[in-house]
Amino acid sequence: MFYFFKKGDEFLRCELRPRDSGACDLFIVEPGREERIERFKTSALAEQRWEELRIRFNVDGWAGPFGRE
């Protein structure tokens, strides 16, 4: 699942990618920065981190998330 945030003319992208093992990777691309990957042993841990990031992005003035599969 892809999530996008918008601030002015800039976009920020997050992607949650489940793995067959039950683990999950969170890919984050912020403007002007290299893509980073956070890896989690369970999808529940990834969802928890996603919620933390969503709140932080909104506090920082990013509109969204706008989801897309």
Contact in structure between 21 and 14 (CB atoms under 8 Å): no
Q: Is the dihedral of CA 38, 42, 48, 54 positive or negative?
A: positive
Whole-Å CA distances, 51 to 17, 26, 58, 68: 15, 12, 11, 17
Record the pTM: 0.86
The answer to whether residue 69 scores a pLDDT higher than 80 is no
**Banded pLDDT at 67 (limits 50, 70, 90):** confident
Task: Round to whole Å and give the CA distance between 6 and 26.
Answer: 18
Mean pLDDT of 42-61: 95
Is the preceding peptide bond at 31 cis, omega within 30 degrees of 0? Answer: no
The answer to whether residue 60 scores a pLDDT higher than 90 is yes
